[in-house]
Amino acid sequence: MIQPVLKDLIITGNPNIHGKLQFTETEDIGDDFLLSGTACIGVEEFDGEYNFDFTIITPKALAKQLEDRNEIILGAKNFIVNKLDFELITETINQILSKHQGETWEEVAISLNPYFSWEYTDSVRLTTVEELFEMIKKESEKDNE
């Protein structure tokens, strides 16, 4: 059974707004921001990891987005926070991961889908070399049209 663990946490933003692209610790950047988060998730026994993306947003930034748009913003894959708190975000991710496991990484990723977007969510999975060659042939035919 695969038990996912957090290996690394990457939080990036707009350097024109916050003065830097990546955050590595809790900082006071105010209460009006939208940042991108990547939880690098693997298993304890191995060095490798998969990337699971999410958004970190404050209520003030969310309110601005709602003012600028005439649509519904769905809450999936969004961490709504009052401030940038690395420890709290890490703790929350660890709590989520402790409740999810699976026989395969695909099962783990599907179970984590309400919280994160897995880097391979929309990728094509090929199980044989023949499938690969067939895909290449189809793409080649499209290019020649």
| CA–CA dist 138, 142 (Å, integer) | 6
| CA–CA dist 77, 79 (Å, integer) | 7
pTM: 0.80
**Strand pairing report for 117-118 and 50-57:** antiparallel
**Strand pairing report for 50-57 and 78-80:** parallel
Phi, psi (rounded to 5 degrees) for 65: -65, -40
Quote the pLDDT of residue 136: 74
In this model, does residue 26 exceed pLDDT 90? Answer: no
Quote the pLDDT of residue 43: 93
The per-residue pLDDT for range 44-61, each reduced to its tens digit, is 998 899 999 999 999 999
- Sorted by sequence, the CB contacts under 8 Å of residue 12 that are 6+ apart come out as 21, 22, 23, 35, 36, 38
